[in-house]
């Protein structure tokens, strides 16, 4: 680390750390959706990244349409775009569960193959509909620019916005799973499907809504993603494996673990990225995750369960 003074190193850590926080936000939003699908339902959704891409393309479409038909509205379109991203991803997830996933609950490894097939189809649809080139949304004025607490530290505003959004969604998921009536049904179904059914929970509907909700959150992640970088047909795929690692690394059945692992993975990667090439940082991060998983297969935080 020669050549940097202490204050410079400090600034680098803060700025890289903040870049890590943006990555953390997207990873966490993705992982929250996946945690519901994977941990609660045991379905391996390899198309999760594509649901994120749906959200991203929806937001881009929104921004293009707003710029064309209602330029005065450009400062305010973003919340609506997010809502619509959520709804579209939710709707498609609902349909996918109905058409495909519900037939495969007893064969978790097969859901992996089937959803991989789904992700291939979705990618080709994106490519046919939006072209192979990456597109990006026109951001509202209030998302541009940056916040400068000291001279050498420079934090972009969109990162702060995405952070806030992530906190909001995370709290929402917490409330939904642990405080609401629906969450109670979801957790009951996970713990004992037959008993839950016996006491009158409509387990099929619970499955469908949970899956759709997970996909919907991925859609929100996609909307947040557009504020950071541009979107292409295969953008989502790159995040799917990472997201799975976040969930597995955090430990199944623990939302807190998911948050902690998303945070540590994102931070490790973005701080290392400054000192070596991006690809080596990624390799090192993944190796560390796998190394730790080999020592602690149950992940960082796990709930003791009797099997």
Partner 1 sequence: MKAIYNNLLGGRQGVIGLALLAALIFLVLPMFLDIFRLNLVGKYLTYAFAAVSLVLIWGYGGILSLGQGVFFGLGGYCMAMFLKLEASSPENTAIQSTPGIPDFMDWNQLTQLPWFWEPFNSFPFTLFAILAVPGLLAYIIGVAMFKRRVGGVYFSIITQAIAAILTILIVGQQGLTGGINGITDLKTLHGWDIRTDSAKYLLYYINGGLLIGVILLSRFILSSKLGRLLLVMRDKEDRVRFSGYDVSNFKIFIFCVAAMISAMGGAMFTLQVGFMSPSFVGIVPSIEMVIFAAVGGRMSLIGAVYGALIVNYGKTYFSETFPELWLFLMGGLFIAVVMFFPNGLAGLYEKHGKRIMEKIKSLRRKPTPPAEKTLAAGNDTSAAAREAA
Binding site for partner 1 (CB under 8 A): 42, 44, 100, 103-104, 107-110, 112-114, 116-121, 123-124, 128, 241, 244-245, 248, 277, 279-280, 282-283, 286-287, 289-290, 293-294, 297
Least distance (Å) from partner 1 to the CB of residue 96?
10
The contacts of residue 169 (CB under 8 Å, 6+ apart) are: 29, 32, 217, 220
Residue 279 C-beta: closest distance to partner 1, Å: 3
How many whole angstroms separate alpha carbon 243 and alpha carbon 29? 9
The helix (H) or strand (E) run that includes residue 152 is: none
Task: Between 100 and 163, name the residue whose CB sits nearer to partner 1.
Answer: 100
Distance CA 147, CA 1 (A): 27
CB of 123 to partner 1, least distance (A): 6
Q: Give the nearest distance from C-beta 289 to partner 1 in angstroms.
A: 7
In the complex with partner 1, which residue's Cβ is closer, 68 or 106?
106
Decide whether 199 or 294 has the Cβ nearer to partner 1: 294
Residue number with CB closer to partner 1 (42 or 164): 42
Q: How far apart are CA 238 and CA 257, in angstroms?
A: 22
Q: State how far the Cα of 307 lies from the Cα of 257, in Å rounded to an integer.
A: 21
**203-228 and 77-99 helices, crossing angle to 10°:** 140
Q: Which is nearer to partner 1, 187 or 282 (CB)?
A: 282
**3-state SS, residue 151:** coil
H-helix or E-strand spanning residue 29: helix 6-34
Alpha carbon 118 to chain centroid distance?
18
Residue with tokens 């999760």: 48
Q: How far is the CB of 18 from partner 1 (least distance, A)?
A: 24
135 DSSP 8-state letter: B
32 Cβ contact list (under 8 Å, min separation 6) = 169, 170, 173, 214, 217, 255, 258
Q: How far is the CB of 67 from partner 1 (least distance, A)?
A: 29
Which residue number, 228 or 286, has a Cβ lying nearer to partner 1? 286
Q: Which is nearer to partner 1, 5 or 279 (CB)?
A: 279
Please state the closest distance from residue 113 (CB atom) to partner 1, in A.
5
Report the distance separating Cα 180 and Cα 234, nearest Å: 36
């Amino acid at each position: 680390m020669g050549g940097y003074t202490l204050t410079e190193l400090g600034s680098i850590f803060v700025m890289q750390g903040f870049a890590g926080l943006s990555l953390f936000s997207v990873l966490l939003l993705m992982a929250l959706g996946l945690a519901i699908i994977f941990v609660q339902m045991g379905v391996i959704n390899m198309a999760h990244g594509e649901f994120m891409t749906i959200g991203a393309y929806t937001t881009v479409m929104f921004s293009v349409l707003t710029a064309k038909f209602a330029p005065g509205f450009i400062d305010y379109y973003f919340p609506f775009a997010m809502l619509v991203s959520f709804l579209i991803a939710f709707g498609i997830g609902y349909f996918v569960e109905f058409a495909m996933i519900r037939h495969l609950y007893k064969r978790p490894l097969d859901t992996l193959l089937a959803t991989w097939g789904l992700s291939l189809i979705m990618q080709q649809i994106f490519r046919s509909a939006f072209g192979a080139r990456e597109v990006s949304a026109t951001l509202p004025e209030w998302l541009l620019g940056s916040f400068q607490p000291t001279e050498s530290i420079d934090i972009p505003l969109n990162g702060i916005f995405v952070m806030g959004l992530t906190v909001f969604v995370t709290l929402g998921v917490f409330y939904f799973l642990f405080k609401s009536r629906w969450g109670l049904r979801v957790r009951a179904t996970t713990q004992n499907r037959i008993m839950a059914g016996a006491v009158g929970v409509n387990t099929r509907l619970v499955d469908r809504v949970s899956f759709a909700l997970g996909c919907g959150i991925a859609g929100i992640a996609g909307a947040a993603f557009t504020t950071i970088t541009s979107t292409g047909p295969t953008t989502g795929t790159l995040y799917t494996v990472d997201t799975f690692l976040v969930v597995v690394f955090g430990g199944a059945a623990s939302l807190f673990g998911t948050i902690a692992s998303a945070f540590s993975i994102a931070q490790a990667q973005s701080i290392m990225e400054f000192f070596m090439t991006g690809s080596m940082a990624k390799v090192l991060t993944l190796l560390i995750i796998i190394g730790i998983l080999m020592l602690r297969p149950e992940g960082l935080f796990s709930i003791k369960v009797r099997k």
